[in-house]
Amino acid sequence: MLPDHREEKRGERRQHGLGDGPPVEVGAAPAGGEAAGFQPRITAFVCNWCTYTGADLAGTSRLHMASNVRIIRLPCTGRIDPLFIIKAFERGADGVIVSGCHPADCHYTLGNYHARRRFAVFHDLMEFIGVDPRRMTFSWVSASEGAKWRDVVNEAVTNVRALGPFEAYRALAPEDAGVAAPAGSSAEIEAS
């Protein structure tokens, strides 16, 4: 049982579609996804210095957006290994977002340049093996771009909802891989 003030905060967040509670419907859903009440699970790998702060700004500004996204905060996009994305799909994500500081704004100077090259190659590789590129969103969101983060999230949710659950990929995953934390959980991993 949470203390009263935390319960109140949760209620407020639910009301604004910012975190806990049922995800907010965004955009037009396809026949299949909507009929099945499909709510995509999106894992977002974001850098600590820009996108995480931008996402926080979107929350504190009470911007209305889908709450299907679970954020994993890392120091820099340069720290995001493509294997993290594969692991996310394996563990139940239907889509993935990778986002960090704009080029030339990286806190570690070159991290996002490394990330940009890495993900360009990874993107082609995923397409080659049959993963629809619309399941992956790459973007740059600065600390002051709360509205852009909202748009990135809403667009990713709409795209992934149109594609439906990523069952085909999960069928390939080993049985003990488990699944992503259920919607409504507040799991957040901080890596150093």
- The yes or no reply on residue 77 touching ligand FES (CB under 6 A) is yes
Taking CB under 6 A as the criterion, the residue among 26, 44, 106, 126 binding ligand FES is: 106
Taking CB under 6 A as the criterion, the residue among 13, 73, 91, 107 binding ligand FES is: 107
Count the site residues for ligand FES by CB under 6 A. 13
In angstroms, rounded to a whole number, what is the distance separating the alpha carbons of residues 63 and 16? 8
Nearest residue (CB) to ligand FES, 39 versus 112: 112
Nearest residue (CB) to ligand FES, 38 versus 108: 108
Taking CB under 6 A as the criterion, the residue among 17, 78, 95, 165 binding ligand FES is: 78
- The yes or no reply on residue 18 touching ligand FES (CB under 6 A) is no
- The yes or no reply on residue 100 touching ligand FES (CB under 6 A) is yes
Residues contributing to the site for ligand FES (CB under 6 A)? 47, 49-50, 76-78, 100-101, 106-108, 111-112
